[in-house]
Amino acid sequence: MKKFFNKTISLALSLIVLFSTVSFTVDKHFCGEHLMDVAVFSAAENCGMEMIQKTSHEVQVKKKSCCRNEFQIVEGNSLEQQAIQKMEFPQLYFVVAFISLFTESFDNSIEQSYCYYDPPLVKKDITVLFENFRI
């Protein structure tokens, strides 16, 4: 039960992060005052009531079309984009110096002082003290 709960929560949180950072476009097609089609990530389909294009030799009288499209851009969270900055030379020098000092501090070529440590001398024989004799 606990594993299922943890997996469900982690999946939900990852989806929240994904959808909060993704930008998308909502396209709406209105015919008059009525909403005819809504599309996400693509263009909305026309209702077919748009003005028919006349040929070039006919007199064209432009009338206001009853159809219109509205676009709504939903932008995601841009905190990740702001966090990525162009690194300048003073920052780069600091990073290189920090990495070199960090790696040198864990150098394994230094001889450890406890490798050749002699145990202390026995003051009393423990087997005789506890009278524990094994044959």
Task: Pick left, alpha or beta for residue 91 (phi over 0 → left; psi -120 to 50 → alpha; otherwise beta).
Answer: alpha
Contact 72, 30 (CB under 8 A): no
pLDDT tens-digit readout, 56-92? 555 555 566 778 888 888 777 766 555 556 656 677 7
pLDDT tens-digit readout, 40-66? 878 877 777 665 554 555 555 556 677
